[in-house]
Amino acid sequence: MAVDEKVIQEIVRQILAAKGLQSAPAEPKKEAPQASDEFPIIPVGVSARHVHLSRKDMDTLFGPGSELTPIKPLMGGQYAAKEQVTIIGPSLRSIERVRVLGPLRKQSQVEISATDSFVLKVKPPVRPSGDLKGSAGITIVGPKGVVKLEEGCIIANRHIHMSPEDAKRFGVKDGDYVNTLAEGERRTMLYGVQIRVSPEYTLEMHIDTDDANAIGFKDKTEVTMFKR
DSSP tag of 32: P
Mean pLDDT score, 118-136: 97
Confidence tier at 27 by pLDDT (50, 70, 90): very low
pTM metric for this prediction: 0.80
Q: What backbone phi and psi angles, to 5 degrees, belong to 22?
A: -120, 140
- Please report the pLDDT score of residue 24 as a whole number: 47
Contact 138, 130 (CB under 8 A): no
pLDDT number for residue 8: 62
Structural element, H or E, at residue 170? helix 164-170
Helix (H, G, I), strand (E, B) or coil at 115: helix
Q: Are 71 and 82 in contact (CB under 8 A)?
A: yes
**Is residue 189 within 8 Å of residue 179, measured between CB atoms?**
yes
Mean pLDDT over the full length of the chain: 89
How many other CB atoms sit within 10 Å of the CB of residue 125? 14
Count of other CB atoms within 10 angstroms of residue 55: 14
> 155-208, pLDDT tens digit by residue?
999 999 999 999 999 999 999 999 999 987 889 999 999 999 999 999 999 999
Q: What share of the chain has pLDDT > 90, as a percent?
A: 76
∠ CA 201-204-209, rounded to 5°: 125
More confident residue, 105 or 13: 105
